[in-house]
């Protein structure tokens, strides 16, 4: 259950400041554009379109916005730890402070879903999220994401 | 003579008390409770403590009355909605299924024992029905909530198949007793005619009896304490009268329970409580008596064929019968397998096995012993494994609501309103500020021992007691408002999918985000419409629609049966749970088919 192949240290934002769901998505799109070299507008539109289908807030303060882009070459992630939780219309109505944005190529199909499932499992682990919430260091967060236990690999 | 009364009462009450105490142990260890009752009866009987009870007629009489009480209660506790949703498959199982099971077991019995054909089929008929008490106990008390349609089907089946098995058995006993030479054509006609008469009269008398019970209870101004007794006596009257008229009293009493339980009875809660108690007593007495009646020292000589027959029933006869009966009803493979497995035999089978003894048929004692062992095998093998199997086959649905603190109070004189007392629990919607709908008439709030009207209480706080007047048949909505949030453990998240989806959005959005390959026509629907279509027109809490590597899961259904919330799972669907091949006849047949095709 290793996420290191999905995300690089440069793609971790350790202390994002945002006031709304929209702003979180905007700032993350900006970061993703920097990492992938794609247009920020295109990324933002894609994930916003997915949010309309239903919030990607999965509960316990975690959200996993995602979408498919024609221009991207491989599956790429961007992670942000928010300084202050924001409302995200999550399932349990709790505000969100950990956000993993995942972008996949148009034809990624099953790999895209497998990556999503892995991220959801890693972030479901209470120890991992507690450790991430307790630090403001990008390298440390990246390490926690990479070393998350593979225990509940069902 | 005086001493006799004391001794009998002493023995009887002590046995019942031991049985009641043993229920504590059973709940703790999940052992099939009925097995324990039976065991206590055996332990006290001829080969145990030496209570010599060998009166077949008395055992049958007591058992029949107890069964009537149990059947009335099982009808009484079945909501008509559950009955409707499950009636067709359940009735197929209760009629055709019983006949098939009886036939198959009869066939096997002929080869495994030295019974002649009629005796073998008699044996098959006695073990053809599932036991309502055992099935209900396992499905309700086993602390699992099984998928609604499967549970209703099993419950309605187990309640309604006893009359058919009883009819078959009694017909066969009568046939053997007369000893007349067989004329198959004439015989089939007579049996069919007898069946129609018994079931027809039973059904009509049951419906009529149920209505009369409701009318009388509503009309007569009986004392509260007397009502439950009155209902019980009336139900037994329906049983006896129908039987005397040549109908099936057992079917009548079950139907009467169904009608009465769904009628607008006065003080339903106290009737229900009383019924629960009486049913417990009836079960305890029935199993104790049957256990007392058996003589385990005779078991050794027929143990092997009986054991084989028991296994044949569990692994072949029941699955074949269930698979055939459920073919037209769109049950999944796992559902069919589960229904096959929850075919517990119980007291009714043992009770029916007494009838040949009453008529002193040849081989009656051997038949009784074999049936007794079959029931023991079924209770042990199936009774102990239902919970784990339900989980394995994903028949278990996570609880919809968290714990709820509610008391229903009966109002004197009024048949149409109830007073509900809820305790506000932390985290419940009302505690978080949701208003109670106006039709619910919140009357009183008790906070820190002081009472105040709802209007002055302001926002409800955890620990408040709220008293609410509601019309009869209040919707579940109120419970939802007062329930604490259901605990989601990680497995539930797997079950319902990590993401949520708005069911009112077009299905085209799903295609855009995940490309599972929906047709143009499907993309034009909303997600709710699309899911309903894929599910065959009816969506139920916990239903899943698999689309390539994503799954849509029904998270909630509203009062009208519309899909209200949907989850989306991106976990690659686990490989379908493997079922032992013998449990899934359909699969076995299709494998055989591919094998044969491969040969050619």
For residue B329, what is the DSSP state?
G
Nearest to B366 by CA among B287, B298, B288, B292: B298
**Residue A113: its chain B contacts at CB < 8 A?**
514, 549-550, 570-572
Residue B566: its chain A contacts at CB < 8 A? Answer: 54
Do the chains contact at A117 and B485, CB–CB below 8 Å? Answer: no
d(CA B180, CA B170): 16
pLDDT, residue A109, reads 73
Residue B167 host element (H or E): helix B162-178
Tell me the C-alpha distance between A40 and A25, whole Å: 11
Question: Which B residues 492-551 touch A at CB under 8 Å?
Answer: 493-494, 498-502, 505, 509-510, 512-515, 548-550
Task: State residue B114 phi and psi, 5-degree precision.
Answer: -100, 25
Give the DSSP H or E segment for B38.
Answer: helix B33-44
Nearest-angstrom CA–CA distance, B341 and B385: 9
User: What is the SS3 assignment for B590?
Assistant: helix
Q: In A109-138, which positions are buried (b, 16+ CB within 10 angstroms) versus exposed (e)?
A: beebbbbbbbbbbbbbbeebbebbeeeeeb
Which among A54, A92, A112 has the least Cβ separation from residue B499? A54
Instruction: Write the burial class of residue B468 (CB in 10 Å: 0-12 exposed, 13-18 middle, 19+ buried).
Output: buried
Q: Is there a contact between B570 and A113 if contact means CB atoms under 8 Å apart? A: yes
Q: Do A109 and B501 touch (CB under 8 A)?
A: no
Contact A124 B499 (CB under 8 A): no
Structure tokens at B370: 């074999």
d(Cα B182, Cα B485) in Å, to the nearest integer? 65
pLDDT at B386: 80
Radius of gyration of chain A (CA): 14
Q: Residues, chain A, total?
A: 154
- The pLDDT assigned to B324 comes to 92
DSSP class per residue in B299-323: HHHHHHHHHHHHHHIIIIIHHHHHH
| Chain B nearest CA to A80, separation (Å) | 19
pLDDT band for position A153 (cuts 50, 70, 90):
very low
Task: For Cα atoms A42, A48, A51, give the angle at the middle one, nearest 5 degrees.
Answer: 150
Residue positions of A annotated with a catalytic role: 66
What mean pLDDT is predicted for residues A38-54? 88
The sign of the dihedral angle between the CA atoms of B110, B113, B118, B124 is negative
Q: What is the pLDDT of residues B491-510, one digit of tens each?
A: 566 677 778 888 888 888 88
Q: Do B502 and A64 touch (CB under 8 A)?
A: no
Residues 6+ apart with CB under 8 A from B24: none
ipTM comes to: 0.85
User: In the prediction, which pLDDT does A99 show?
Assistant: 93
Nearest to B549 among A58, A91, A113 (CB): A113
Name chain B contacts of A55, Cβ cutoff 8 Å: 500
Rounded Cα–Cα distance for residues A82 and A99 (Å): 8
| Closest chain B C-alpha to A141 CA, distance in angstroms | 22
* Nearest in space to B198 (alpha carbons), one of B252, B241, B142, B246: B246
The pLDDT value given to residue B492: 61
* Residues in contact with B118: Cβ distance below 8 Å, sequence separation at least 6, in sequence order: B172, B175, B176
Q: Are the beta carbons of B363 and B115 closer than 8 angstroms?
A: yes
**A152 vs B: CB within 8 A:** yes
Closest Cβ opposite residue B493 in set A52, A112, A124: A124
| Residue range B314-350, pLDDT digits in tens | 999 999 999 999 988 878 788 888 899 988 888 889 9
Beta B544-547 vs B465-471: how paired, if at all? Answer: unpaired
Evaluate whether B423 touches B405 at the Cβ level (below 8 Å).
Answer: yes
Has residue A22 got a pLDDT over 80? yes
Length of chain B: 600
Q: Which is more confident, B143 or A2?
A: A2
Contacts of A114 in chain B (CB under 8 A): 570, 572
Query: Residue B536 burial by CB count (10 A; 0-12/13-18/19+): exposed, middle or buried?
Result: exposed
Residue-level pLDDT, tens digit, chain B, 600 residues: 567 888 888 888 888 888 888 777 766 655 567 778 888 888 888 777 777 778 888 899 999 999 999 889 988 888 887 788 788 899 999 999 999 999 999 999 999 988 888 889 999 999 999 987 777 777 765 556 777 788 888 888 988 888 889 998 988 888 888 776 667 777 778 888 888 999 999 999 999 999 999 998 888 877 878 888 999 999 999 999 999 998 999 999 999 999 998 887 766 778 888 888 898 888 888 888 888 888 888 888 888 999 999 999 999 999 999 999 998 887 878 888 889 998 888 888 999 999 998 888 888 889 999 999 999 899 888 887 887 788 777 777 766 665 666 777 766 665 567 777 888 877 777 777 777 776 777 778 888 888 888 877 777 787 888 888 776 655 566 777 777 666 555 556 667 777 888 888 888 888 888 877 788 888 888 888 888 888 777 777 777 788 877 888 888 777 677 888 888 887 755 555 555 544 555 566 666 677 776 665
Residue (of B237, B196, B236) closest to B67 by Cα position:
B236
- Show the CA angle centred on residue B564, arms to residues B558 and B568, nearest 5°: 140
Contact A59 B493 (CB under 8 A): yes
Residue of B nearest to A153 (CA): B571
Among chain A residues, CA nearest to B575: A154
Task: Tell me if A63 sits within 8 A of A119, measured CB to CB.
Answer: no
B443 DSSP 8-state letter: E
Task: Calculate the alpha carbon distances from A117 to A128, B43, B448, B505, B600 in Å.
Answer: 16, 55, 47, 23, 43
A68 to chain B, any CB pair closer than 8 A? The answer is yes
DSSP B263-298: S--SSHHHHHHHHHHHHHHHHHHHHHHHHHH--GGG
Task: Identify which of A43-57, A105-119, B8-22, B524-538 has the greatest average pLDDT.
Answer: A43-57
Check pLDDT > 50 for residue A151: no
- DSSP string for A35-100: HH-S-HHHHHHHHHHHHHHS--EEETTEE--EEEESS-SS-EEEEEEEEEEE----TT---EEEEE
Dist. CA B69–CA B74, nearest whole Å: 9
Both structure tokens of B29: 């260890």
Chain B contact probe: residue of A91, A109, A115 with most B CBs at under 10 A: A91
Residue B26: which H helix or E strand, with range? helix B2-29
Residue B334's pLDDT is what?
82
- Contact between A82 and A20 under an 8 Å Cβ cutoff? The reply is no
Q: What pLDDT is stored for residue A152 in this prediction?
A: 46
- Tokens standing for B37? 């009752």
């Amino acid at each position: 259950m290793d996420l290191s192949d999905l995300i690089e240290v440069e793609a971790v934002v350790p202390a994002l400041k945002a006031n709304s769901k929209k702003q979180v998505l905007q700032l993350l799109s900006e970061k993703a554009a920097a990492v992938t070299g794609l247009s920020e507008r295109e990324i933002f539109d894609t994930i916003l379109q997915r949010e309309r289908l239903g919030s990607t807030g999965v509960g316990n303060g975690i959200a996993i916005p995602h979408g498919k882009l024609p221009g991207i070459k491989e599956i790429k992630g961007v992670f942000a730890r928010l300084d202050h939780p924001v409302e995200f219309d999550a399932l349990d109505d709790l505000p969100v402070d950990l956000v993993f944005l995942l972008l996949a190529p148009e034809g990624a199909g099953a790999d895209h879903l497998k990556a999503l499932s892995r991220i959801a499992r890693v972030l479901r682990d209470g120890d991992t999220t507690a450790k991430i919430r307790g630090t403001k260091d990008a390298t440390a967060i990246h390490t926690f994401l990479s070393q998350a236990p593979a225990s509940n690999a069902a | 003579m005086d001493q006799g009364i004391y001794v009998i009462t002493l023995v009887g009450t002590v046995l019942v008390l031991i049985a009641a105490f043993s229920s504590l142990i059973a709940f703790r260890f999940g052992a099939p409770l009925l097995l324990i009752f039976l065991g206590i009866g055996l332990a006290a009987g001829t080969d145990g403590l030496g209570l010599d009870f060998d009166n077949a007629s008395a055992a049958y009489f007591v058992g029949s009355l107890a069964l009537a009480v149990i059947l009335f209660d099982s009808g009484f506790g079945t909501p008509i909605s559950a009955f409707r949703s499950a009636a067709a498959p359940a009735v197929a199982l209760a009629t055709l299924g019983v006949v098939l099971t009886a036939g198959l077991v009869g066939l096997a019995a002929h080869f495994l024992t030295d019974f002649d054909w009629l005796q073998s089929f008699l044996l098959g008929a006695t073990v053809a029905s599932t036991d309502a008490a055992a099935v209900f106990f396992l499905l309700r008390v086993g602390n699992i909530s099984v998928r609604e349609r499967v549970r209703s089907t099993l419950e309605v089946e187990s309640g309604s198949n006893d009359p058919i098995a009883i009819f078959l058995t009694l017909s066969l006993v009568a046939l053997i007793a007369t000893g007349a030479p067989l004329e198959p054509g004439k015989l089939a006609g007579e049996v069919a005619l007898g069946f129609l008469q018994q079931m027809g009269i039973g059904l009509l008398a049951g419906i009529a009896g149920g209505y009369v019970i409701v009318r009388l209870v509503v009309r007569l101004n009986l004392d509260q304490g007397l009502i439950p007794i009155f209902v019980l006596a009336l139900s037994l009257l329906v049983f006896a009268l129908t039987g005397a008229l040549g109908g099936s009293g057992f079917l009548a009493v079950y139907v009467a329970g169904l009608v009465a339980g769904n009628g607008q009875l006065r003080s339903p809660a106290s009737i229900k409580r009383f019924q629960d108690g009486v049913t417990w007593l009836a079960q305890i007495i029935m199993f104790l008596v049957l256990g007392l009646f058996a003589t385990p020292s005779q078991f050794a000589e027929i143990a092997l064929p009986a054991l084989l027959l028991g296994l044949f029933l569990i692994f072949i006869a029941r699955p074949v019968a269930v698979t055939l009966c459920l073919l037209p009803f769109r049950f999944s493979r796992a559902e069919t397998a589960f229904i096959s497995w929850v075919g517990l035999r119980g007291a009714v089978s043992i009770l029916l096995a007494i009838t040949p003894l009453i008529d002193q048929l040849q081989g009656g004692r051997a038949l009784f012993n074999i049936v007794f062992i079959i029931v023991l095998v079924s209770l042990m093998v199936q009774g102990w494994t239902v919970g784990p199997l339900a989980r394995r086959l994903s028949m278990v649905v996570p609880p919809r609501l968290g714990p709820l603190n509610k008391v229903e109070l009966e109002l004197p004189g009024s048949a149409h309103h109830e007073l509900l007392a809820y305790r506000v629990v932390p985290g419940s919607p009302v505690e978080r500020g949701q208003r109670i709908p106006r039709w619910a008439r919140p009357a009183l709030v008790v906070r820190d021992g002081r009472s105040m009207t709802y209007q002055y209480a302001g926002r409800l706080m955890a620990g408040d007691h709220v008293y609410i007047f509601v019309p009869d048949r209040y919707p579940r909505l109120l419970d939802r408002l007062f329930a604490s949030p259901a605990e989601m453990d990680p497995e539930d998240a797997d079950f319902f999918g990590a993401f949520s989806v708005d069911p009112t959005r077009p299905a085209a959005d799903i295609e855009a985000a995940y490309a599972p390959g929906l047709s143009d026509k499907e993309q034009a629907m909303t997600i709710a419409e699309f899911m309903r279509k894929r599910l065959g027109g009816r969506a139920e809490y916990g239903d899943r629609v698999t689309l390539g590597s994503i799954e849509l899961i029904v998270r909630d259904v509203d009062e009208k049966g519309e899909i209200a919330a949907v989850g989306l799972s991106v976990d690659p669907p686990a490989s379908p749970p493997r079922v032992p091949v013998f449990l899934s006849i359909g699969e076995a047949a299709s494998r055989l088919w591919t094998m044969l095709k491969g040969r050619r």
